[in-house]
Structure 1
Amino acid sequence: MSDSSPVAVVTGASRGAGRGIAVALGSHGCTVYVTGRSQREGDASIPGTIYATADEVTKAGGRGIPVRVDHADDAQVRALFDQVEREQGRLDILVNNACAIHDQLPAPGPFWEKPREIGEMINVGVKSGFDASWYAAPTMVGQGGGLIVFTSAPGAVHYCFGPAYGAHKAGVDKMAADMAVDFDDAGVDVAAVSIWMGSLATERLLGMMAAAPEHFKHLEGTLESPEFTGHVIWALFNDPDRKALSGKTLIGAELGVQYGVTDIGGKYPPSVRELHQCAPREQYPFKVK
C-alpha cells in the first residue's frame, strides 16, 4: 500500500506535455507512474525517456516510477494498472496523454500525401485513452473518488495538421463528456475532463519554430510551459467542487486564472478563446441509454 501521497498515472510521459505534467505533479508530492516506450535516448527522434522523467519527478519532490508501456498493446496497459493496484492500492489521477505523433504530421500538404501511419494517433490517442480509463475507473469508483484528464487542444474545433489530429482532439473531448455521464449516473465522485493546452514550449515545437521562424512567428510570447497543465490539474484535483466541471472541455489557461496558477515569468498564459476566436463545444443534456 502507498503512503498518503496521491497516486497518479501520466501516460506518454517520456517527453513533451506528459513529461511536464508528471514533473509538476511530482512537485506537489505525488507518486507518479511515468509511462511511455522510450527507455534509451535514441528510441525516438526527440530526446526523452521514461527513466529521465521519473528521475525529474523524484527530484521535484514526488516519487517517479517508470513503466515501459506501449499503449497500443492491451496486455501492457492491463499490466500497468495491475501494478498500480498491487503497489499502491489506489489511483487518484489518470492523465491520458499518450499519442502516436508521426514526425510528418505537421508537414505541408493534404493528408493523402502524408504517411498513412499518421492516423495511428486515433489508436494511440483516442482508443488508448479509453482503455486506460476503463482499467482505472473501477479502482477510482471503489475508493470513492478520482480524476481522469484527457490532454487536448483547440484543433478539436478548427483545422490543425489535418483530419487525424482533429479527430483525436475532438474524440477525447467527447470521451470525457460521456464518461462523466456514466460516473454521474452511477452516483460516484469521479470526475472526467478534457483540457485544452495552449502551444507548449516542448522540444518538438521549439525545433519547428527554429526551423521555420517566420511560419511560427505568431506563437511568440504565447507559449505555455509543459509543466503548466500539471499544476492546473493539481489545482483541479484539490477543488472540492471539481465534480461541477466533470464532463467539460476546459481551457487550461482559463483554469489557471480561476485557480491562480501562473506560468512562465509569473504570468497567466493567453487563452485560445481570444487568440484563435474559438471555444470548446458544449455537450447537450439529452441522453439515450
Structure 2
Amino acid sequence: MTRELEGKVAIVAGGTRGAGRGTAVELGAMGATVYVTGRTTRAARSEMDRPETIEETAERVTAAGGEGVPVEVDHLDRDRVRALVRRVDAERGRLDVLVNDIWGGDHLTEFGTRLWDLDLDRGLRVLRLAIDTHIITSHCALPLLNRTPGGLVVEMTDGTAEYNARYRKEANLFYDLAKVAVIRLATAQAAEIAEHGGTAVALTPGWLRSEAMLEHFGVTEENWTDGAAKDPHFAISESPAYVGRAVAALAADPDRARWNGASLSSGGLAQVYGFTDADGSRPDAWRYITEVEDAGKPADVTGYR
C-alpha cells in the first residue's frame, strides 16, 4: 500500500466492527491517524452485545501502518462528541476525514414487518441511533474539518440513492428511513462545506460480510464462499476491506470534489479507482442485486465480480 494519507487525520465514528472497522484499517494502511470511536470497549459492551471492540480496531489500524486511537464515545451524547473533537484538535490540530458509520440498530430491526405491526419504541430508537448520531457528530466535527481545505465527509449507508428510491415490501420502514436520510445528510453537507473546499458523499457497501453476517452464515472470512450453500446470492458478498478501500481511495484523490453530493457504492468506485476486494475480485453488488437477485434470476456472479 502507498502512504498517500500520511499526516492526515480521520475520525471513523462507529468503527467498532463491520464497514467502520474495514474503513479504519484501510485508512491506516495508507498512513493515516485514525480515531476509532464506538461504545464497545474491552471493559464494557454496548446494547448490541457484540464482542468486537474499538481497541481491537485501533490495534489493527496501527498494525496496518497507521496510528489507531480508540475513544469510547456514545454519539448520542453531544458532550462526549464535543470532547472527542476537542481532543483531536489538541493532539493533531486538524481533521481531514470524517466517516459517519454509526448504526447499532441490527438488534432492533424487524424486516418484512408492516409499520402497524412494528414495535414503535424500537423503531424510533433505530432513527435515533442511525440519524441523530450522524447529525450530532457532523455538527461538532465540521468546524474542525472545515479549517483545512479538502476535507472529506463520508456518510455510510445501505443502498444507493437510486436503489433506495423504491420501497420494497420485505423492507422495514424505520430501517428504510434511516438509510435514505443518511444519503440526504450527505447531500446537505455537500452543499454547506463546498465553500470550505470540502467534499461530502454517501457511500454504501454491497452485501457486507460483517462479523455478524459471517456468524449468520456459519462461515469465516477464510471460507466465506461456503455460505452460498445457505443462500446462493451470498456469492456476490464483499469483505469490509472493500468499502474501506473505497473511502481510502476517495481520501487520497486530489480531485475528489467531483463526487461532492454523490451517492456512491464500493463496487462503483472500484471500477473508477481500480482497487479490489481482499480476495482480488471486484464485486459490483448493487448492479447484481438489481439485475439478478431482485429480478428473480438464478444466482450467477459471472460478469459481476
TM-score of the pair, normalised by structure 2: 0.82
**Does the CA contact (< 8 Å) of 1:53 and 1:64 recur in 2?**
yes
Q: Per-residue displacement from partner, 1:16-71 (whole Å, max 9, x unpaired)? A: 11111111111111110000000127724322011111111111111110000011
Q: Per-residue displacement from partner, 1:136-193 (whole Å, max 9, x unpaired)? A: 2212222222000011122733436401111111001111111111223xx2210000
Q: C-alpha separation between the residues in 1 aligned to 2:278 and 2:148?
A: 36
Q: Secondary structure of 2:34's partner?
A: strand
Match of 1:183 among 193, 196, 199: 193
Residue in structure 2 matched with residue 27 of structure 1 by the alignment = 29
TM-score of the pair, normalised by structure 1: 0.87
Residue in structure 2 matched with residue 127 of structure 1 by the alignment = 132
Instruction: Tell whether 2:248 aligns with 1:228.
Output: no
Residue in structure 1 matched with residue 38 of structure 2 by the alignment = 36
Q: Which consecutive unaligned segments of at least 5 residues does structure 1 have? A: 279-289
**Does the CA contact (< 8 Å) of 1:199 and 1:219 recur in 2?**
no
Residue in structure 1 matched with residue 301 of structure 2 by the alignment = none
Could you tell me how far 1:15 is from its partner in structure 2? 1.3
Residue in structure 2 matched with residue 284 of structure 1 by the alignment = none
Q: C-alpha separation between the residues in 1 aligned to 2:67 and 2:199?
A: 24
Which amino acid in structure 2 is aligned with residue 51 of structure 1?
E
CA spacing shift, 1:206–1:110, aligned 2, 3 Å? farther
Match of 1:137 among 142, 146, 155: 142
**Does the CA contact (< 8 Å) of 1:35 and 1:66 recur in 2?**
yes
Give the superposed CA RMSD: 2.4
Which amino acid in structure 2 is aligned with residue 147 of structure 1?
L
Residue in structure 2 matched with residue 209 of structure 1 by the alignment = 217
Residue in structure 1 matched with residue 7 of structure 2 by the alignment = 5
Residue in structure 1 matched with residue 69 of structure 2 by the alignment = 65
Q: Which consecutive unaligned segments of at least 5 residues does structure 2 have? A: 220-226, 293-305
Which amino acid in structure 1 is aligned with residue 182 of structure 2?
V
Q: C-alpha separation between the residues in 2 aligned to 1:255 and 1:214?
A: 25
Instruction: Tell whether 2:213 aligns with 1:199.
Output: no
Q: Secondary structure of 2:154's partner?
A: strand
**Does the CA contact (< 8 Å) of 2:110 and 2:118 recur in 1?**
no
Q: Per-residue displacement from partner, 1:212-262 (whole Å, max 9, x unpaired)? A: x78961432111111211111111112222111100111221101100010
CA spacing shift, 1:76–1:274, aligned 2, 3 Å? same
Q: C-alpha separation between the residues in 2 aligned to 1:57 and 1:214?
A: 30
Instruction: Tell whether 2:170 aligns with 1:166.
Output: no
Instruction: Tell whether 2:89 aligns with 1:85.
Output: yes
Q: C-alpha separation between the residues in 2 aligned to 1:93 and 1:82?
A: 15
Which amino acid in structure 1 is aligned with residue 184 of structure 2?
K
Instruction: Tell whether 2:49 aligns with 1:45.
Output: yes
Which amino acid in structure 2 is aligned with residue 175 of structure 1?
L
Match of 1:117 among 119, 122, 125: 122
Which amino acid in structure 1 is aligned with residue 139 of structure 2?
W
Residue in structure 2 matched with residue 286 of structure 1 by the alignment = none
